[in-house]
Amino acid sequence: MYCKRPWLREGDVIKVPGERDQWVSKEIKEARTVEMNKALVENWNAVVSPEDEVKHLGDFCFWRRGSEEDAAYWEKKLNGKIVHFKGNHDRSRHIKGMLRVGTIKAGGHEFLLQHHPPERIEEIPDFCDVVLCGHVHEVWEHKWVGDVLVVNVGVDVRNFRPMSMDELLGVVNKLQHERNG
């Protein structure tokens, strides 16, 4: 398990010293995965319209050899046009045109978009005042790298749904106001 999502129930996994937690059975793992995927699709489609563009900052889906549930399968179930940024778990051969980094301007801010969060100010272009990332699951919601705000937009800290630009700008403006007074 990469994080403790709410679909995991007590007794589903066992602790193995020195290793990752292990599922008690394949059936439990499959049942929880189906339940989680159904909820994630419903949550996404509740906030994303078919006309929206979504910047997905990596780790879109796992792909298992022989499975039909690759990126194309999930994209058909999700509203909007998805712009993919490459995550460390994105191995599906059907994800089209993954970007490594990107920038957007919105609400008076210049955003850098990438999967991994920067650790040092030198990793952030001078023109960006906010970095959006995924990768860290539920470890943190935001942090400061120098004077640059880094926001984790991953679903694990965002009620398991994408953020709208209005919602994101509200978070960014609030955090910058709190820091700058």
- The structural domains of the chain, with segments of one domain joined by +, span 1-47, 50-180
Tens-digit pLDDT profile for residues 103-143? 999 999 999 999 999 999 999 999 999 999 998 888 899 99
Top pLDDT among 59 and 171 is at 171
Nearest CA-CA partner of 64 in 26, 108, 119, 111: 26
Superfamily of domain 50-180 in CATH is Metallo-dependent phosphatases (3.60.21.10)
Q: How far apart are the first and last CA of the chain?
A: 39
CA–CA dist 112, 49 (Å, integer): 24
Top pLDDT among 94 and 156 is at 156
CA–CA dist 5, 156 (Å, integer): 7
Mean pLDDT within 87-97: 69
Predicted local confidence at residue 68, as pLDDT: 64
Question: Residue 54 — φ and ψ, nearest 5°?
Answer: -115, 125
Nearest CA-CA partner of 152 in 176, 173, 130: 130
> Chain-wide mean pLDDT for the chain?
89
Helix (H) or strand (E) holding 175: helix 165-180
Predicted local confidence at residue 16, as pLDDT: 87
Predicted local confidence at residue 5, as pLDDT: 81
Q: How confident is the model at residue 65 (pLDDT cuts 50, 70, 90)?
A: low
Q: How far is CA 152 from CA 40, 113, 139, 145, 158, in A?
A: 17, 10, 9, 13, 9
Predicted local confidence at residue 1, as pLDDT: 46
Predicted local confidence at residue 26, as pLDDT: 92
Query: In the predicted model, is pLDDT for residue 66 greater than 60?
Result: no
Predicted local confidence at residue 94, as pLDDT: 65
